[in-house]
Structure 1
Amino acid sequence: MVCGVLVNGEPKVPCYFIFGDSLSDVGNNNHLVTLAKANFSPYGVDFPGGVSTGRFTNNRTVDDYISTFLGFNKSITPYRDQMDQDILRGVNFASGSAGILIETGFELGDSVWLDRQILNYIKTILRLQFMVRGPVSNYLNKCLYTVNIGSNDYLNNYFLPLLYPSKRLFTPDEYANRLIARYRLQLRNGSSFRHRSTRLRAGPNDYEQYNSCVDEVNEAAKIFNTKLESLVDDFNARLPGAKFTLINFSAFQAVNPLPADINTSSPCCTLNIVFECEPHSTPCANRDLYAYFDGVHPSDVFNGMVAEAAYNTSDRRIARPMNINQLTNNQKGKSTY
């Protein structure tokens, strides 16, 4: 059971901007030509009204839960659906199969990779400056940002050597350096708007059960995660106008073993060739007992557990240097990865 703090009245932050991949996508891929879509049943089977919104799960994402903990009365809307005053609350720019690198995920079709998401954010800021009193930067300084990306750069790039040259060209350490260098530039571009806080996600770790080279993927992920920790430390030291924290999903799974009755080895739905749910298939009945809804994406119950830990944990192996609740209480700014 998720028991995050609910806020009556105004949210803890005025706006919440979300960047990332399919773990955060709430519908941005619906109108793209791509196999990375979730706007069909059984996705959304437990969402209000049973609507398949484009979320790659049976109900809520981690970011949906966090928006509730922050006190928002509804989830942050996708960029393609942003409407007038609604963007004052923030925007979700995340896109399934997106990566840090432009070429990541091309075998699945189109996506809004991180550079394009940042461009969409800039377009949003240009609109916001006519909607707020005073400098728009003063408004953005109070907002929370999350960036949840990186898994696809391994699973839909580095570890697909028949389609991508990355593994032939780079050792795991060299590839991690390439990703971190690009990520650093992208985040600095976003931070130029002097936003207040950002949460970063350490990954990849979400596809382990269905990958044939689990150990190799895990080792590569550890290299990336270690470099990401250093990146967050560097940003906190060099960018005094913003605060960053790192949420390590891998550490969450290691530190918080799931209840014994939670199935972690099987998906809740019938899978298609890209390990997503077969369209209009019947999912399992006891969805609260499954950690994964499809072959790669967590279920609502697992997302809730992760969000609870990200928001409230005191374990610095999971949230470093602080959890999201502490981050949003920090007057110097808020950012998560």
Structure 2
Amino acid sequence: MESYLRKWCLVLVLVLVLGLGFKVKAEPIVPCYFIFGDSLVDNGNNNGLASIARADYYPYGIDFDTPRPTGRFSNGKTTVDVIATELGFDNYIPAYSDVSGEQILQGVNYASAAAGIRDETGQQLGQRVTFSGQVRNYLNTVSQVVQILGDEYAAADYLKRCVYSVGLGSNDYLNNYFMPQYYATSRQYSIESYADDLINRYSDQLNLLYNYGARKFALVGVGAIGCSPNALAQGSLDGRTCVERFNLPNRIFNNKLRNMVHQLNNDLPDAKFTYINAYGVFQEIIANPSAYGFTVTNAACCGVGRNGGQLTCLPGQPPCQNRDEYVFWDAFHPTDKANTIIAQRSFNARTSSDVDPIDIATLARL
């Protein structure tokens, strides 16, 4: 009897030791995460393209996990990297240009720098994968998922549990409507009618995604473009005040995007759409930077020209040292720290204005 008890005591000690030494990794909240967007979330899809819109060189990625340039337009992580971690994935979601085999089952990042809702958007910068092109790439992924899982029913059941993040529209203003020297849209459309055109095209692509299995959508509003170093360099008298002629069209677009979310929730009851108010969170950071640990809101950590607002980082150009104090990494894109704040507020809303109607954590658990 004594030998039996001694044996079980040893087993119990071993279990406790192993339990303390090795933590069991929980499964992600959702099986996969699909990402559509532009340079704010591109993680390498433009690296192999003939494009000016690339970030596969130092100092981009200087604070990334590796650290090395990966094609992310940041000193470190993008918002979707943070959200992937919050969802419980061990790794960041791979770029479509790099993914292969069963890797696609955890999701794919289709985002492409300079991409827009309209196909011509960003063409002055070279090659890019437009929203419609990203959706076509997703359809190719779906056919692979069907092959891996064995049939369309299994694939449909799998995909309906995934989160789909879409964040487009910024370039349709920055690299289209606000560039009359390259594009005629500002002469063809009023601000209001241009937003309507974008929303109609956006809706068409979302319906395609829905027809191919997507059911949980997080639609990210356009950020406060008029507060970027690029906008400040162009149109701010004091170099600090956000430029309203850029921000007003973005707010009009975002209001229509929010309305579309409510309409789609009514029209497609077996799907769930939510609006992510990136504009509002960003404005809050700009208005009260010290609350978030920032000291510089009107200049880029890395860039050329007035406050780094004329161009993105040049290859090999040393960035600022105090990167966590800067809201903007380059002329257009937030720092890793700013991205992290925006992503966390998207995932777990702090106020009712952060999202409409639910945050990504709630969406994922539906």
The answer to whether residue 61 in structure 2 is matched with residue 44 in structure 1 is yes
Instruction: Quote how far apart the aligned CAs of 1:43 are.
Output: 0.2
* Structure-2 residue corresponding to 1:93: 110
Please list, as runs of the form range in 1=range in 2, the aligned pairs for 1:109-128 lying within 5 A after superposition.
109-128=126-145
- Residue by residue over 1:171-215, the C-alpha shift from the partner in whole angstroms, topping out at 9 and shown as x without a partner, is 000101110111111111111123231111111424533213421
Q: Please give the secondary structure, in 2, of the residue aligned with 1:200.
A: strand
* Paired amino acid for 1:142: R
> 2:225·2:250 contact (CA, 8 Å) conserved in 1?
no
* Structure-1 residue corresponding to 2:100: 83
* Structure-1 residue corresponding to 2:276: 247
CA distance in 2, matches of 1:217, 1:112: 24
Q: TM-score, normalised by structure 2?
A: 0.85
Instruction: Quote how far apart the aligned CAs of 1:314 are.
Output: 4.2
* Structure-2 residue corresponding to 1:164: 183
* Paired amino acid for 1:49: T
- Could you tell which deviates more after superposition, 211-220 or 74-83? 211-220
Higher RCO, 1 or 2 (CA under 8 Å, sep at least 6)?
A: 1
CA distance in 1, matches of 2:66, 2:274: 35
The answer to whether residue 195 in structure 2 is matched with residue 176 in structure 1 is yes
The answer to whether residue 211 in structure 2 is matched with residue 192 in structure 1 is yes
* Structure-2 residue corresponding to 1:28: 45
* Structure-2 residue corresponding to 1:155: 174
CA distance in 2, matches of 1:86, 1:258: 39
CA distance in 1, matches of 2:129, 2:206: 16
Please list, as runs of the form range in 1=range in 2, the aligned pairs for 1:294-305 lying within 5 A after superposition.
294-305=330-341
The answer to whether residue 297 in structure 2 is matched with residue 264 in structure 1 is yes
Instruction: Quote how far apart the aligned CAs of 1:254 are.
Output: 3.3
- Could you tell which deviates more after superposition, 205-214 or 94-103? 205-214
| Percent identical residues | 40
Q: Please give the secondary structure, in 2, of the residue aligned with 1:182.
A: helix
Q: TM-score, normalised by structure 1?
A: 0.93
Structure showing the higher helix proportion among its residues: 2
Please list, as runs of the form range in 1=range in 2, the aligned pairs for 1:286-325 lying within 5 A after superposition.
286-325=322-361
Instruction: Quote how far apart the aligned CAs of 1:144 are.
Output: 0.4
* Paired amino acid for 2:217: T
Instruction: Quote how far apart the aligned CAs of 1:49 are.
Output: 2.7
* Paired amino acid for 2:92: S
- Could you tell which deviates more after superposition, 292-301 or 190-199? 190-199
Q: Please give the secondary structure, in 2, of the residue aligned with 1:48.
A: coil
- Residue by residue over 1:207-226, the C-alpha shift from the partner in whole angstroms, topping out at 9 and shown as x without a partner, is 53321342111111111111
Uncovered stretches (5+) of structure 1, i.e. residues with no partner: 1-6, 331-337
Uncovered stretches (5+) of structure 2, i.e. residues with no partner: 1-23, 236-242
* Structure-2 residue corresponding to 1:334: none
* Paired amino acid for 1:222: R
CA distance in 2, matches of 1:104, 1:8: 42
* Paired amino acid for 2:255: T
* Structure-2 residue corresponding to 1:3: none
> 1:154·1:204 contact (CA, 8 Å) conserved in 2?
no
> 1:151·1:205 contact (CA, 8 Å) conserved in 2?
no
Instruction: Quote how far apart the aligned CAs of 1:241 are.
Output: 2.0
CA distance in 1, matches of 2:339, 2:126: 26
Q: Please give the secondary structure, in 1, of the residue aligned with 2:66.
A: helix
Q: Please give the secondary structure, in 2, of the residue aligned with 1:198.
A: strand
* Paired amino acid for 2:246: V
Q: What number of residue pairs does the alignment pair up? A: 324
TM-aligned CA distance change 1:90 to 1:207, over 3 Å: farther
* Structure-2 residue corresponding to 1:18: 35
CA distance in 2, matches of 1:63, 1:100: 19
CA distance in 1, matches of 2:304, 2:137: 32
Structure whose CA Rg is larger: 2
CA distance in 1, matches of 2:87, 2:223: 26
CA distance in 1, matches of 2:77, 2:223: 20
TM-aligned CA distance change 1:204 to 1:154, over 3 Å: farther
CA distance in 2, matches of 1:49, 1:130: 33
